């Protein structure tokens, strides 16, 4: 397989609720993690939910980091995908320390493809992902966007 990137999936427990509900702490922790991982920040969006919880996404030159918190459970989930240079493991260490997780589960996925396999056309497979008509697909949709 030709590896194109490393994808880390993080589940972390037993973090203090006040840290997981602090959007500024999450923002700073992500910036520190990006720096430690040697990645390049393009954009950062942080959203504070009511009554609690934070979701933050960082678009990187090397891919992305996303984090979702459940303060009431002392839990956060993070997704780090780095391609090219950078070290997502160092970024995870920063998040784990900054959010004081006492327990962490880390799953590493090597992302890429086998050049010998060629590209598969999945459009003819029975996937039933989108079961709406072309006419419905062309209908304008309303999205509620929030500014970061």
User: Choosing from 7, 63, 89, 148, which is the catalytic residue?
Assistant: 63
Average pLDDT rounded to a whole number, residues 101-105: 98
Half-sphere exposure of 66 (CA within 13 A, CB side): 7
What kind of fold does domain 2-115 have according to CATH? 3.60.90
Q: CA-based diameter of the chain, in Å?
A: 51
Distance from C-alpha of 56 to C-alpha of 64, rounded to nearest angstrom: 11
Per-residue model confidence (pLDDT) at position 129: 43
With beta carbons less than 8 A apart as the criterion, state whether 39 and 61 touch.
yes
Specify whether the CB–CB gap between 78 and 69 falls below 8 A: no
Look at residue 130 and tell me whether its pLDDT is greater than 80.
no
Residue 68: active-site member: yes
23: its two tokens = 């959007």
For residue 139, is pLDDT > 70?
Answer: no
Q: What is the pLDDT of residue 19?
A: 98
Decide if pLDDT at 34 tops 70: yes
Catalytic residue among 47, 83, 85, 131: 83
Catalytic residue flag (residue 148): no
Is 45 tagged catalytic? no
Please state, for a pLDDT cut of 90, what percent of the chain lies above it: 71
Return mean pLDDT, the chain.
86
Q: Which residue in the list 29, 47, 68, 148 is annotated as catalytic?
A: 68
pLDDT at 117: 62
Instruction: Say what angle helices 23-36 and 88-98 make with each other, to 10 degrees.
Output: 150
* 126 token code pair: 């029975």
Q: Taking residues 69-84, what's their average pLDDT?
A: 97
**The pLDDT of residue 120:** 54
């Amino acid at each position: 397989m030709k590896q194109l990137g490393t994808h880390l999936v993080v589940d972390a427990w037993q973090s203090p609720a006040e840290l997981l509900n602090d959007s500024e702490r999450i923002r700073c922790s992500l910036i520190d993690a990006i720096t430690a991982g040697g990645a390049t920040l393009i954009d950062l969006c942080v959203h504070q939910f009511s009554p609690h919880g934070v979701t933050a996404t960082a678009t990187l030159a090397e891919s992305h980091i996303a984090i979702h918190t459940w303060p009431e459970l002392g839990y956060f989930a993070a997704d780090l995908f780095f391609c090219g240079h950078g070290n997502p493991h160092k970024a995870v260490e920063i998040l784990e320390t900054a959010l004081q997780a006492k327990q962490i589960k880390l799953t590493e996925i090597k992302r890429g493809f086998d050049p010998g396999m060629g590209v598969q056309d999945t459009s003819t497979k029975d996937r039933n992902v989108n079961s709406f008509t072309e006419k419905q697909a062309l209908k304008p949709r309303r999205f509620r966007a929030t500014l970061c």
